[in-house]
Amino acid sequence: MKRFRRHGHELNRERIKQDLFQFNKTVEHGFPHQPSALAYCSSLQLMAIGSRSGAFKIYGAPEVEIMGLHEENAAVTQIHFLPEPGQLVTLLDDNSLHLWKVRKSPDGLSVLKEESHFDLRGQPGAPPSVTTITVVLPHSSGDVLFLGTEGGCVFVVEHPSLREQEERTITQEAVLQKVPDDYQSKRSLGSVEALEENPRNPHQILIGYSRGLIILWDLQISEATHQFLGDLLESVTWQRDGRQIISSHSDGSYCQWPVSNNDRSPQPLENKVPYGPFPCKAIPKILWLTTKQRTPFIIFKGGMPRASYGDRHCISVLHGSKQIAFDFTSRVIDFFVVDEGESKSDSDEPSALLVLAEEELVAIDLKTPSWPVIQSPYLIPLHCSAITCSHHVSNIPVKLWERIIAAGNKQTSHYSTKPWPIDGGYSTASEPPQRDLLLTGHEDGTVRFWDASGVCLKPLYKLGTVGVFVTDADHNDNLNQSGEDEWPPLRKVGSFDPYSDDPRLGIQKIHLCKYSSHLTVAGTAGQVLVLELNDEAADQEVACTLVDILQDQDTFKWKGHERLNPREEPVHFPAGFQPFVLVQCQPPAVVTSLALHSEWKLVTFGTSHGFGLYDYQQKRTVVVRCTLHPSDQLALEGPLSRVKSIKKSLRHSFRRIRGTRASGRKRAIPGNNAAKVQEANARMDREALNEMELAPVQRRIEARSAEDSFTGFVRSLYFADSFVRDGSYHGPSLWAGTNGGTIFAYAITIPSVERRMEEPVTATQVKEIQLMHRAPVVGIFILDGRGILLPEPLEAAHDLSKSPDMHGNHMLLVISEEQFKIFTLPKVSTKNKLKLTAIDGSRVRKVSVASFSSNRVEDYSENGLLVLTNLGDIQVISVPTLRSQVRYECIRKEDVSGIASCVFTKSGQGFYLISPSEFERFSVSSKWVVEPRCIIDIDEGVGTRASQQKAVQDGAVVKANSQESEDSHQMLSGMTKSEDDVRKTAEIMEHALLNDERVLLEIQSTLESDSALTDRLSFGHLDRNSKNSTGIQTPKQRMINGD
């Protein structure tokens, strides 16, 4: 009966765990790493960006994003939207062409599906370069694609079958028949550099060859009707009325050519080098946009003077007498212009220029005379300066949220007021249940505040700390500085700046108290700043206090960098967080841990040498403790590196074994022969190793030597109101854990509120705990009498959590790299422990407290520990029972930087860097999942073969409209009537089946089966950094996640 009850309890617990925990990788925040292609769809107002990893995303309005991932591990070199809405083709660098279509998933969301792919193959024995695709032109009819190649041929491929029409291939031999004799004598015209369709005559296309020849090809008669002879060609574009073409060349020039029936081989109307007369770089792309005022916009990439500005990445815009070269800090990939003009109009109405650079996306308002930058709602370069640390704060109070936004709005006055021009699709995701902040520290000394509540990581406010110190860096970060009065007229745009004038400014630790609006940040050179939020700008001095961590120990000498010198005069601080206290650690080593208690007005900080406690209300040091071991000389070298001696570890392991198992079986060895004694001891040590029994899910924890380097490295700091002296009195305390497994406990005495500024705060050491195996202390927490973790400072005072139980016995939870251990308080004795399950040798890298709410029972939730190991696994540990609840594979163990950058939230979510510019967001909670849920409305009754569907509202799937489109699709060129009849029959069958409820249920069950895994669906998110397919979860979970 007991066994049956235990089994029933386990089943019930498993059901509860399913309601609480579910692992999902939900969305990627930031800018895609190594972008390689850009495309724009004017009809749907969508944009697509491809990357070298083989992934690409479609972007629309904020929170509208759909991801596609090629099976081939090849870079995306080109993306083209097709005339048929919701379809696009991608070209990879392995010369494969892929057709994609936006479809509806079973839950009504828009997803990308790869329909087919095509490999262009040449004649047997021909070199591969002959058929290497250089240009793709989707024809406006939607029937064919034209593919230009390096061999100079233009191949024609049917759409949507992606079948080559060999009889329509445009060869160089056919072209040479209509060109002058001096071109016929050449061996080759070069590769095809440009293919452009006449906007007023779909039967004419321009073909541009790299050696300078441009021909106008008539598709009806399969002949070249015009030829334009120029220099080495880069690109060609039409004017909107179809009467002129513009070509750009490798010498930095562009030419304007007339197109008329009177002259089949005209001379250029204009040949101009914009930045001449000195040699200039090539112009890879040019656009000529007419306006109603007859003054064209000329926009081109490159063309800068080679000698002086050849290393600049520029997009130039010319409009009448106005000319500006927008200067980017990273290489320009591509650009396009958003046109507000009607399709049948003879003039363009350019409204915005969007430029994809290697490290950022920049939108420029062409309607406003000053051409300002439009602030992006997504694709923000998180790595504008390298990210050095992260800090997440959940459930921000409304007042603090509004004050931060107000301070941030004052920093964005130089941006355009024009809304974001890409606004296709719409999001069906519900409003975020709370306001969350993600703070990122950067190498240049800035802290950026991001709205992490939803799918888009929106910038709110930027804090700069460089103004506090005397450095060569310019802390007046003005992106509007320009040299437009000089030549070339350069204007710096974009926010990406990878260079830091002083690496000592880098932010290493951040702590924000959301109740008091106090913020503390710590940096690379031992600087600790305490800041408060002010709604008005102010000029004030920042008080600086030097804290000697070594406490005048002569045996240690710092060999690293010098400290930063603070400014002595008052500093002007804009509205926002303003520093009022500066604590400078000596030696100026990297701050490794930081904690703030705004109710007690205390801040504590740790370095590789020790830790200090500072009273920022009285602006005085309370206590300093040096934790250096005599062997910690490497901690004084500056750069942090962990050195471990395997020989010492083995020796101490044998000593431990000898002292436990083997000591009971040793017997005295007669004689004084030292060699025999050593041989006998070694033999018994080997026997003890062989006979030692280990639990199947636990490994032997290795003892570490006190002489190992960096044992004084302070890893964790923790404030708590608990019982540290005796069981009858509780009070403020400070806990510090080191890399050598030592925990220091200090009892803090804080004067009453009336005498707070008169009497000093004092701290007395009351405990020192040494872990047996000297493993680094990763986290310290205290549990109240009910076994619940103590709330954050001021949390209970604001009625946002229950008051802790101060009547029962408190417990100390110590988390080391090796194990979890609970001690009783105030008498420190072991109560419970959990060794990390590690036959595979995993160690704790990150730990945080999280609350997990049930997705089925409204008011049920559990608190636990979120743990990340060095193997990239995420575990949830229950408290206080210390039982492992779930374990998921999250990050590849080889991704050391990703593991180091991980930060958890209070709701069971997390972020980690999958590249220098992207955060991957994941969730372990089954209830709180932030993921893109978007719909792109496509009129499937016009220009498609599928029947028209209604829009999906609130995530509900609406059945397909029963009205069938009469003219669903035009016949492909060269298609036979029988093939068309077969297709129409298939359409009718498909329409009939989709209106049969039984068939619909059968299809749905099939999609939810394991066989659906073979379908190459690409959904709102596909992880590129997962270890294996288990990261995608089950098919049912994929549909829930928008996948």
Whether cis (ω within 30° of 0) applies to the bond prior to 751 is: no
**CB-based contact 823:778 (threshold 8 Å):** no
Cα 483 to Cα 662: distance, rounded to the nearest angstrom? 80
171 token code pair: 């060869």
**CB-based contact 607:618 (threshold 8 Å):** no
Helix (H, G, I), strand (E, B) or coil at 586: strand
pLDDT at 345: 79
**CB-based contact 778:819 (threshold 8 Å):** no
Q: How many residues are recorded in the chain?
A: 1043
pLDDT at 835: 87
Q: How far is CA 454 from the centre of its chain?
A: 14
pLDDT at 780: 96
How wide is the angle at C-alpha 662 spanned by C-alphas 658 and 667, nearest 5°? 110
pLDDT at 972: 35
Region class of 719: left (phi > 0), else alpha (psi between -120 and 50), else beta: beta
Helix (H, G, I), strand (E, B) or coil at 3: helix
Measured over the CA atoms of residue 303, residue 309, residue 313 and residue 315, the dihedral's sign is: negative
Q: What is the DSSP letter of 700?
A: P
Cα 1023 to Cα 1031: distance, rounded to the nearest angstrom? 8
pLDDT at 475: 42
* Residue at 338: amino acid letter: V
Residue 853 CB coordination number (10 Å): 18
Whether cis (ω within 30° of 0) applies to the bond prior to 587 is: yes
Residue 989 CB coordination number (10 Å): 10
826 burial type by CB count under 10 A (0-12 exposed, 13-18 middle, 19+ buried): buried
Helix (H, G, I), strand (E, B) or coil at 318: strand
pLDDT at 294: 83
Helices then strands, counting H and E runs in the chain, come out as: 11, 63
**CB-based contact 62:377 (threshold 8 Å):** yes
Cα 790 to Cα 949: distance, rounded to the nearest angstrom? 53
Helix (H, G, I), strand (E, B) or coil at 264: coil
851 burial type by CB count under 10 A (0-12 exposed, 13-18 middle, 19+ buried): middle
**CB-based contact 852:864 (threshold 8 Å):** yes
How wide is the angle at C-alpha 8 spanned by C-alphas 5 and 9, nearest 5°? 85
- DSSP code per residue over 820-882: EEEEESSS--EEEEEE---SS---EEEEEEEEEE-SSSTT-EEEEEEEEETTSEEEEEETTT-
Instruction: Write a three-state SS string for 873-894.
Output: EEEEEECCCCCEEEEEECCCCC
pLDDT at 558: 86
Using the structure block, give the residue that is written with the tokens 């009504």.
108
What is the mean pLDDT, run by run of 10 residues, along the chain of 1043 residues? Answer: 55 90 95 96 95 96 95 94 95 96 93 94 80 96 95 94 93 83 69 95 95 94 91 94 94 95 89 92 95 91 94 95 94 95 82 96 96 94 94 95 96 93 94 94 95 94 94 52 73 87 92 95 96 95 92 79 92 95 95 95 96 96 90 55 42 50 41 51 50 43 56 93 87 95 96 92 95 92 89 77 79 93 91 74 92 90 94 93 93 94 96 95 93 84 34 33 35 37 37 40 42 38 40 36 35
Range 112-118, long-range pairs (CB < 8 A, 24+ positions): 112/58, 112/66, 112/67, 112/68, 112/1017, 112/1018, 112/1019, 113/1015, 113/1016, 113/1017, 113/1018, 114/68, 114/70, 114/1016, 114/1018, 115/160, 116/160, 116/161, 116/162, 117/162, 118/157, 118/162, 118/163, 118/164
Range 952-956, long-range pairs (CB < 8 A, 24+ positions): 952/104, 952/108, 952/109, 952/428, 953/428, 954/428, 955/107, 955/108, 955/109, 955/428, 956/108
Residue 474 CB coordination number (10 Å): 11
pLDDT at 416: 95
584 token code pair: 């400078």
pLDDT at 128: 80
* Residue at 694: amino acid letter: L
Q: How far is CA 724 from the centre of its chain?
A: 43
Using the structure block, give the residue that is written with the tokens 């016949």.
971
